[in-house]
Amino acid sequence: MKLGIVGLPNVGKSTLFNAITKAGAESANYPFCTIEPNVGVVAVPDKRLDVLREVYNSKKNVPTAIEFYDIAGLVKGASKGEGLGNKFLSHIREVEAIVHVVRCFEDENVVHVDGEVGPSKDIETINLELIFSDLELIERRLFKTQKGLKADKSLKVELELLTKLKETLEDGFSARTIEFNDEEIKFVKSLNLLSFKPIIYCANISEDDIVNGNENNYVKEVRKIADTENAEVITICAKIEQEVSELEEDEKEEFLNELGLKESGLDKLIRSSYHLLDLISFLTAGPLEVRAWTIKKGTKAPQAASKIHSDIERGFIRAETIAFEDLKEHRTMAAAKEKGLVRLEGKDYIVKDGDVIVFRFNV
């Protein structure tokens, strides 16, 4: 899973990226300090692996991972090549979802690129640049489709969809605000529109606000916009995330408890990412390792098996499956089998989050 962290210059993108990946991207109080997208791979915290490792006496845990891309700050006119616009837009095309960091705090020591904090205006600036870029693509595709329609009448449906997209974009709304049926979604996804990518608005608030659980008016602005796009919103404090990232694992929980926080911003972001992209994890376990594997919700057993190896999908026979909670309670597969909790599932079985699976196959 690849997530692109975007936002205007000086909103806390690189600070957040550093905190969640410990990759050390340069952060400074001026625009464009991040020119190439820094990439960091983050292990997805999953306490279920610790339990399974104990049950199986495994040598190691292998969590699933997310790739975060810290993409250069954007300014008005990026779609026309202003600032680092062309690089910014091409890098967004490579990610599956966008994490849009929005400044929701006042600090006279940190310059705002427009002179004052204004989440609505900041969001509009970036969204419009994505929309302008998409419009260019749609107009080229429309021209091609209109020419082809003379010889192929089946292109009429495509023409109607492209026209609908063009009108929405010209009205200043992102492609993700349109409702499509399953067939239409397939076509729209093939266009790789920037404004159709799923988005999480990450409201970067002050230390006081995060500790006191305050949702300031800036955050309310962000939520109002997100509601129109079916987007996710989380609140984080990039400064606190930076402090958390410098602690040892056993110190992190204590530090968060002292601040009265139930979870870190990274945990919030990962949870929102999974929800936004309809992702779940299934688990495999044995004496060598216990491992989490990320799949789309609704994936059938053979396709889930292909995450491990294509041969397992090709030679799939069955999946021996048990819910994690059942295995946790009974501690061994043998005890769980006695209770009838281990199931034999076929090719049509839809894998559930937390399934512990042994795939049987023959190649």
The residue to which tokens 């599956």 are assigned: 96
End-to-end Cα spacing for the chain: 29
Helices and strands, counts by H and E, the chain: 15, 12
Cα–Cα distance between 6 and 13 in angstroms, integer? 7
Cα–Cα distance between 61 and 52 in angstroms, integer? 9
Query: The tokens of 229 are what?
Result: 């796009």
Instruction: Give the relative orientation of helices 85-93 and 119-149 as an angle to the nearest 10 degrees.
Output: 70
User: Is residue 15 part of an annotated ligand binding site?
Assistant: yes
Torsion of CA 214, 219, 220, 223, to 10 degrees: -130
Query: The tokens of 310 are what?
Result: 């294509």
User: Is residue 222 part of an annotated ligand binding site?
Assistant: no
The DSSP element (H or E) to which 317 belongs, if any, is strand 316-323
Neighbouring C-beta atoms of residue 209, cutoff 10 Å: 18
The residue to which tokens 């993700």 are assigned: 176
**What residues have CB less than 8 Å from 57, skipping those under 6 apart?**
287
Cα–Cα distance between 70 and 5 in angstroms, integer? 5
Cα–Cα distance between 336 and 326 in angstroms, integer? 7
Cα–Cα distance between 278 and 280 in angstroms, integer? 7
Strand, helix or coil at 113? coil
Sign of CA dihedral 209, 210, 213, 217: positive
Cα–Cα distance between 233 and 274 in angstroms, integer? 13
User: Is residue 14 part of an annotated ligand binding site?
Assistant: yes
- In terms of DSSP H, where are the helices of 260-292? 265-276
Within its chain, how far is the Cα of 35 from the centroid?
22
Cα–Cα nearest to 351, from 291, 311, 303:
303
Q: Which residues are annotated as a binding site for ATP?
A: 10-15
Residue set of the binding site: 10-15
